[in-house]
Amino acid sequence: MIDKQQKQASEYLASRDLITEKQCEQIAAYQKLEVFSLHTELRLLIYFAVSLFCGGIGLFIANNIDTIGHTVVLSILFLCIMACYYFSLKNQAKFSWLKTEFENVIYEYVVLTAVILSSIFIGYLQFQFSAFGENYSVATLLPTVVAFATAYYFDNKNVLSIAITGLIATIGLSISPRQLIEVEIFNNEFLSVFGVILAIMLLGWGIYSARKSLKSHFSPIYYQFSLHLMGIVGITNMTENYWLLYAVLLGIYFFYMIKLSLQTRSLFLFIFSIFYSYIALAIALYQIADILYIWKFLEQLFIIFPILFAASIYLFVILIQKFRRNDGSI
């Protein structure tokens, strides 16, 4: 619509001899040019630079630990952290529950570096000096608190993701450190229940934040973590004897998440809600077939499995198309 109006405007100016025909052609050629942005590429390069910097510090410590000593290493880390926070605070706008941004985007990554180095610092204290004894949850709680405070004060989504990850690890270590370390979290019913509760809490806080305008632009991150946590924990437990309970729970949860994705216009939530729902439904059908002993009948249907799979993909594409032109319903 705007391009058509611009074209009409340039033609009008040419008809009134206010611009020449050549100038009119030049304007038309310019309007056909597409805007080219390196925003994403530059952000990826900065992420890469932050990773290299933190990795470089790690290599420096590993190669020189015998020479410089642990105290010097901790002092260097502490000074780097303080420098990052100093420059970030110096250039940060006044705190607000609404969205705020640095004038220069580079400071977002300075904040990210500060949080990563803070985690390294606390982890190094625990690993080398056992500062918190065998209470590993404290060693994860401190960087988590730092990350949450930093994320909200400096309005940084990347740091918030680190903070939520730390929260999940902290609570997991508090409940059953041995099973979490040995990657047996899904074999523990209590940890699975905890995962479901935490997923609901993350979703609830995201909704509350959006309604009360408490950094409402953080809500999608809470939704995403909640969705993945519920999907992984729920689907894993659908292979157990109490699968029906999780089937009902996931059905209600994913139905709500699909509605939420339509309300918030989040394609990410929509796609993964459908994806997890599809897996959960397949496992539920498997469990039902196992109970009813109808495997022989299902074996007859195996020959049309490619057709069913293709139909599922087609239906998924149709749903995505309907989502893109969504009017509020699927």
Distance CA 89, CA 218 (A): 21
Residue 17 in any domain: the answer is yes
> Residue 197 CA to chain centroid, in angstroms?
19
Residue 31 in any domain: the answer is yes
Residue 162 in any domain: the answer is no
Tokens of 192: 């699975």
Residue 13 in any domain: the answer is yes
Cβ neighbours for 78, distance < 8 A, ≥ 6 positions apart: 121
**Ramachandran class of 266: left when φ > 0, alpha when ψ lies in -120 to 50, beta otherwise:** beta
Cβ neighbours for 104, distance < 8 A, ≥ 6 positions apart: 91
Residue 217 in any domain: the answer is no
Residue 20's domain spans which residues?
1-36
Residue 22 in any domain: the answer is yes
Residue 11 in any domain: the answer is yes
Tell me which H or E stretch contains 36: none
- 95 CB-contact burial (10 Å; exposed 0-12 / middle 13-18 / buried 19+): exposed
Residue 207 in any domain: the answer is no
Per-residue pLDDT of the chain (330 residues; tens, 9 = 90+): 445 566 667 676 777 776 777 777 777 766 665 444 545 556 667 767 777 777 777 777 767 666 777 788 888 889 999 999 999 999 988 889 999 988 888 889 899 999 999 998 998 888 888 878 777 788 889 999 999 999 999 999 999 999 999 998 888 766 555 554 454 555 567 788 888 999 999 999 999 999 999 999 999 999 999 999 999 999 999 988 889 999 999 999 999 999 999 899 898 999 999 999 989 998 998 888 778 777 666 666 666 667 766 777 777 778 777 777 665 444
Structural domain count, the chain: 1
